[in-house]
């Protein structure tokens, strides 16, 4: 294939202005293909969905997308349940999406028919048909030579598979999360049997499958051992512009976290630990939190209630724009990075934090993927989500402030260098070019 003929259809339901955690990987992927000479067309949900339906949008993220990337937005309406709905339609209809998976699981487990148009298996499934229709219209005018889909949601995977079956175009998938395995427990996910059948077909027909860590790769190979040679690890990365040039070296010690607050984080334990050590620190020391409160607008109030009172050694500074991330890190003495779940979970922030010239406290279960990703990084303290362990890790991190040397900072740079986003995500188009 001539390099000028390389046209990629990239199916990414969540894409700017969405601020979902996977968006940064999606931006980097689209940009990496563009930088390596591909023409890139992104198929995503319409802006109205992000601004109005789920109210989780950050329009500034659009500036991060290469000007050479073409965007096609496919409308999608998210079902919301109100008291009026229950009165008007009855409980079942009003709670359609709540019972949808369970009902479909029963049906799918009794009957599984091979058919051209599958019944969607997720609440985002209604997006599949208009997305594939739009993709076929694009292809008719300007054929794409490969399809890459990122999930979740895994409606994008189904769309890619359907397009492959109808058009014969090769495709690959990027697993930001496992599909048929619960990312938090490692157990089989509560999905219809059809999900496993679709995934089996998907991995059999895909050119490549990419995963963010080794645990995810090993888990899917265990499910589909004949596809082992297709699965590659492409970790999340960091942007160089987000790396601090220095850290706070004042007498006042500032702990801090940055990221979209997750209800699964051990917030009670973290803030209990901070309360215990704060009184022994210099006056003016504080804990600083930056980022959104949850992924959806309705989660903001419940998460706010979990935060300590403002002004008592704690500051919530709200969302941090991308061009202010470096400045935020430079205001900190110690960085805290919490992560939920176990081996399958490597939070998207882990490599960005790893690259900073700071002591780090990583809080996750002992077998966690974020902890594994940070192994070998100088001046990192690990703690289980237990207040006593976190207190000990906080104190060790404070000691690190006194012992960290210039040589340690160089070692940190060396540790983080392979995870600069252009290098990590750039492996995907390189593999596809090799496949051509």
Domains in the chain: boundaries: 3-237+421-435, 240-418
Are 161 and 136 within 8 A, CB to CB? no
Average pLDDT, the chain: 87
In 301-320, which positions are buried (b, 16+ CB within 10 angstroms) versus exposed (e)? Answer: eebeeebbeeeebbbeeeeb
**Range of lowest pLDDT (43-47, 53-57, 117-121, 334-338):** 117-121
Q: Could you give the CA distance from residue 337 to residue 397 in angstroms, rounded to a whole number?
A: 13
In 256-293, which positions are buried (b, 16+ CB within 10 angstroms) versus exposed (e)? Answer: bbbbbbbeebbbebbbbbbbebbeebeeebbbbbbbbb
The reply to whether 240-418 shares the fold of 3-237+421-435 is yes
Q: What is the pLDDT of residue 170?
A: 97
pLDDT digits (tens, 9 = 90+) for 206-216: 999 999 999 99
> Is the link from the previous residue into 153 a cis peptide, with omega within 30 of 0?
yes
Q: Could you give the CA distance from residue 9 to residue 20 in angstroms, rounded to a whole number?
A: 21
Q: What is the pLDDT of residue 56?
A: 84
Q: What is the pLDDT of residue 209?
A: 97
Residues 6+ apart with CB under 8 A from 232: 208, 209, 210, 211, 217, 427, 431
**Range of lowest pLDDT (55-59, 115-119, 374-378):** 115-119
3-state percent breakdown (helix, strand, coil) of the chain, nearest 5: 45, 15, 40
CATH topology of domain 3-237+421-435: Rossmann fold (3.40.50)
Average of pLDDT values for 361-377?
94
**Of residues 370 and 90, more confidently modeled:** 370
Are 356 and 329 within 8 A, CB to CB? yes
pLDDT band for 78, please (50, 70, 90 cuts): low
pLDDT band for 58, please (50, 70, 90 cuts): confident
pLDDT above 80: residue 355:
yes
pLDDT above 60: residue 156:
yes
End-to-end CA distance of the chain: 7
Question: Two tokens at 295?
Answer: 């992924």
**Of residues 2 and 114, more confidently modeled:** 2
**Range of lowest pLDDT (43-47, 86-90, 99-103, 402-406):** 86-90
Q: Could you give the CA distance from residue 210 to residue 434 in angstroms, rounded to a whole number?
A: 15
Question: Two tokens at 207?
Answer: 């050119």
Q: What is the pLDDT of residue 376?
A: 95
Taking the C-alpha atoms of 271, 277, 283 and 288 in order, what is their torsion angle to the nearest 10 degrees? -30
Gyration radius of the chain over CA positions = 23
Helix ranges (H only) for 111-154 are 128-141
Question: Two tokens at 299?
Answer: 């989660």
Are 58 and 68 within 8 A, CB to CB? no
- Could you give the percent of the chain with pLDDT greater than 90? 68
CATH class entry, domain 240-418: alpha beta
91: left (phi over 0), alpha (psi -120 to 50) or beta: alpha
pLDDT digits (tens, 9 = 90+) for 244-273: 999 999 999 999 999 988 888 999 999 999
**Range of lowest pLDDT (29-33, 78-82, 243-247, 309-313):** 78-82
pLDDT digits (tens, 9 = 90+) for 274-311: 999 998 999 999 999 999 888 777 778 888 888 998 88
pLDDT band for 121, please (50, 70, 90 cuts): low
Q: What is the pLDDT of residue 89?
A: 37
């Amino acid at each position: 294939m001539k390099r000028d003929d390389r046209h990629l259809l990239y199916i990414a339901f969540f894409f700017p202005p969405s601020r979902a955690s996977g968006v940064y990987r999606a931006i980097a992927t689209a940009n990496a293909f563009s930088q390596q000479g591909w023409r890139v067309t992104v198929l995503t949900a319409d802006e109205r969905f992000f601004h109005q339906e789920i109210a989780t949008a950050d329009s500034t993220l659009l500036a991060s997308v290469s000007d050479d990337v073409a965007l096609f937005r496919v409308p999608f309406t998210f079902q919301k349940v109100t008291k009026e709905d229950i009165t008007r339609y009855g409980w079942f209809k009003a709670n359609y999406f709540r019972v949808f998976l369970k009902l479909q699981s029963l049906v799918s487990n009794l009957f599984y028919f091979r058919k051209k148009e599958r019944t969607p298996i997720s609440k985002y499934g209604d997006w599949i048909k208009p997305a594939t229709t739009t993709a076929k219209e694009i292809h008719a005018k300007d054929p794409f030579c490969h399809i890459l889909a990122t999930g979740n949601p895994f409606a994008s995977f189904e769309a890619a598979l359907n397009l492959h079956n109808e058009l014969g175009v090769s495709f690959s998938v990027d697993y930001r999360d496992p599909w048929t395995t619960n990312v938090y427990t490692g157990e089989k996910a509560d999905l219809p049997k059809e999900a496993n059948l679709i995934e089996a077909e998907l991995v059999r027909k895909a050119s490549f499958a990419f995963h963010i860590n080794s645990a995810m790769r090993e888990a899917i190979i265990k499910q589909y051992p004949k596809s082992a040679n297709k699965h590659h690890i492409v970790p999340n990365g960091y942007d160089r512009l987000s790396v601090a040039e220095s850290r706070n070296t004042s007498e006042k010690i500032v702990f801090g976290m940055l990221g979209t607050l997750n209800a699964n984080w051990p917030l009670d334990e973290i803030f209990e630990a901070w309360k215990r050590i704060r009184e022994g620190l210099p006056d003016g020391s504080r804990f600083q939190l930056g980022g959104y409160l949850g992924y959806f607008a309705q989660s903001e109030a419940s998460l706010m209630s979990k935060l300590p009172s403002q002004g008592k050694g704690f500051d919530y500074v709200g969302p941090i724009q991308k061009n202010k991330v470096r400045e935020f890190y430079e205001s900190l003495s110690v960085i805290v990075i919490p992560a939920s779940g176990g081996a399958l979970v490597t939070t998207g922030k882990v490599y960005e934090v790893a690259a900073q010239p700071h002591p780090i406290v990583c809080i996750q279960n002992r077998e966690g993927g974020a902890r594994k990703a940070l192994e070998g990084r100088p001046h990192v303290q690990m703690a289980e989500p237990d207040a006593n362990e976190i207190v000990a890790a906080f104190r060790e991190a404070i000691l690190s402030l006194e012992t960290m040397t210039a040589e340690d900072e160089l070692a940190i740079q060396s540790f983080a260098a392979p995870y600069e986003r252009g290098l990590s995500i750039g492996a995907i188009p390189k593999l596809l070019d090799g496949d051509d």
